[in-house]
Structure 1
Amino acid sequence: MKTFKNTIYLLLISLILSITAGCKGHQQSSPTIQKNGNSDRLYTFKSGSYNGIGKWYLGREIAHVMGFQGMEWLERPEREKEENTAALLKNMNIKPDDVIADIGAGSGYHVFKIAAQIQEGKVYAVDIQPEMLDAIKIKKEKLGIENMELIKGQEQSANLPENIIDKILMVDVYHEFKYPVSMIRSMSMALKKNGEIYLLEYRLEDPKIPIKTIHKMNESQAVKEFEANGFKLKQNIDNLPWQHCMVFVKQ
């Protein structure tokens, strides 16, 4: 029964992603995306996947953002079993006074778990969609959580304070960044000297993981992109069912 329910959830989220991509594509009068000055000189524009935006970085097509309509899937009961969030939090070696940012926080699935472990620290919930932040705010106020701050991100900046973050978490979201170079630089500025980025992405190397290819990444591609922007891979913790848990630090 659980396997059947998991399949239904995955089919639903695939449908949402396809509808979102279709709607966005329908709005574009030209097959090429509108370019944004110097920022877009770093990218290639060409046709690609139906679920992509036609914009490529270092050989990888950028995916459409999953809309807030998929919020229920983010909170699905099966998520712990499929992603083993408990193991992820152990991987992060969270300290009580850590300052942590969850970029692409979505409905807040991870930030509330993090907030419970950093009584002396702080967690920033960053998302580009106001509907996601509204959902987090409602739950935050209901639970009376005081060590959490909500930040409206932008396409080229996480809008985080500089030199204050110990750890940045990104769960299945980096591959959707329209301007990955600007975002990595923004994160670099926010991180302390010895800060860490925890990059979680569905493993492209495993065809059995039931996620669209464009919403997966392999380790070599992630390393290529982060090394090009001043980071190096510290380790890839291989203990999650479906995802890479790649830890990047500044060069």
Structure 2
Amino acid sequence: MQNKKAQSIRALTVVILTGLITLTGCGGPGAEHFNETAADPDSKPDQVLAELNIQPGLHIADIGAGGGYFALRFAEATGPDGKVYAVDVNPDFLTFIDRAAQSRGLQNVTTVRGTADSSALEPGSVDLVFSRNVFHHIENQTGYFKNLKPALRPNARVVLIDHTEHGFRFVSLFGHHSSPGEIRKKMEAAGYVQIDQQDFLMPDQSFQVFQVAVE
């Protein structure tokens, strides 16, 4: 039994390493890949949208927008009086999102080239910040979210979804995760307070909502 388990682990490791070599050779996953995973029923995108309770006219930032799956859905939900800022450090992703928005006739999507330490959003520009599976990629998380605060309107929400370390998965083996407690600690250090958390993505992902703490 143990030999079979060891063989399974070795086989899975080979598959993962083969995938890593392939991704390295082609520059990493593309926009279509990120959209496919976001739209996968296991990612529960409809429930994520329902929990966000997006109202017409909201100004929303999707930080680490990838292929724009959620940014485009936000644009449809907030309507012509709303605004969506698709933020990413990858210019190819931003071009992809621009074209996708244009093809759908969405005039309320603006792409923003962020940096490693800044969203590059204008002051007082957003009511809701959404970031999915990105927190663990940010090197200085406390500094990044401190820098974000001027862009937030009064009572703005910051919604963070990220992988947990649960299970024998790619994200667990290669450090692509953040524990819910770690996220909360870093956000508190940046001057935020947790106002909500949901468990519908657990045990694979956490879903936490923050606001700027009242001083």
Q: Same fold (TM over 0.5)?
A: yes
Q: Is the 8 A contact 2:198 2:207 kept in 1?
A: yes
Does the residue aligned with 2:171 lie in a helix, a strand or coil? coil
1:95-174 matches, cutoff 5 A:
95-119=55-79, 120-174=81-135
For residue 246 of structure 1, the aligned residue among 205, 208, 211 is 208
Q: Corresponding residue for 1:89?
A: 49
Residues 188 and 144 of structure 1, relative CA distance in 2, 3 Å threshold: same
Residues 72 and 17 of structure 1, relative CA distance in 2, 3 Å threshold: farther
CA distance in 2, matches of 1:16, 1:248: 34
CA distance in 2, matches of 1:221, 1:230: 14
Residues 148 and 68 of structure 1, relative CA distance in 2, 3 Å threshold: farther
Does the residue aligned with 1:212 lie in a helix, a strand or coil? helix
Structure 1 gap segments, 5+ residues each:
1-7, 24-66
Residues 165 and 212 of structure 1, relative CA distance in 2, 3 Å threshold: same
Using the TM superposition, give the Cα deviation of residue 12 of structure 1 relative to its aligned residue in structure 2, in angstroms.
6.8
Q: Is the 8 A contact 2:30 2:67 kept in 1?
A: no
Kindly provide the amino acid, as one letter, of the partner of residue 76 in structure 1.
Answer: E
TM-score by length of 1: 0.71
Q: Corresponding residue for 1:196?
A: 157
Does the residue aligned with 1:157 lie in a helix, a strand or coil? coil
CA distance in 2, matches of 1:130, 1:110: 17
Q: Deviations over 1:173-221 (max 9, x none)?
A: 11111332332022211111211110000122x2255523411111111
Higher RCO, Cα 8 Å, sep 6+ = 1
Residues 104 and 14 of structure 1, relative CA distance in 2, 3 Å threshold: farther
Does the residue aligned with 1:69 lie in a helix, a strand or coil? coil
1:66-85 matches, cutoff 5 A:
69-76=29-36, 79-85=39-45
Kindly provide the amino acid, as one letter, of the partner of residue 176 in structure 2.
Answer: H
Using the TM superposition, give the Cα deviation of residue 77 of structure 1 relative to its aligned residue in structure 2, in angstroms.
6.6
Residues 16 and 189 of structure 1, relative CA distance in 2, 3 Å threshold: farther
Find out whether 1:212 has 2:172 as its counterpart.
yes
Q: Percent identity?
A: 26
Over the aligned positions, Cα root-mean-square deviation in angstroms equals 2.5
CA distance in 2, matches of 1:17, 1:72: 19
Does the residue aligned with 1:215 lie in a helix, a strand or coil? coil
Q: Is the 8 A contact 2:44 2:201 kept in 1?
A: yes
Using the TM superposition, give the Cα deviation of residue 68 of structure 1 relative to its aligned residue in structure 2, in angstroms.
5.4
Q: How many residues are matched? A: 196
Using the TM superposition, give the Cα deviation of residue 72 of structure 1 relative to its aligned residue in structure 2, in angstroms.
3.1
CA distance in 1, matches of 2:185, 2:147: 18
CA distance in 1, matches of 2:194, 2:21: 30
Structure 2 gap segments, 5+ residues each:
1-11
Residues 174 and 196 of structure 1, relative CA distance in 2, 3 Å threshold: same
TM-score by length of 2: 0.82
Does the residue aligned with 2:96 lie in a helix, a strand or coil? helix
Kindly provide the amino acid, as one letter, of the partner of residue 89 in structure 1.
Answer: L
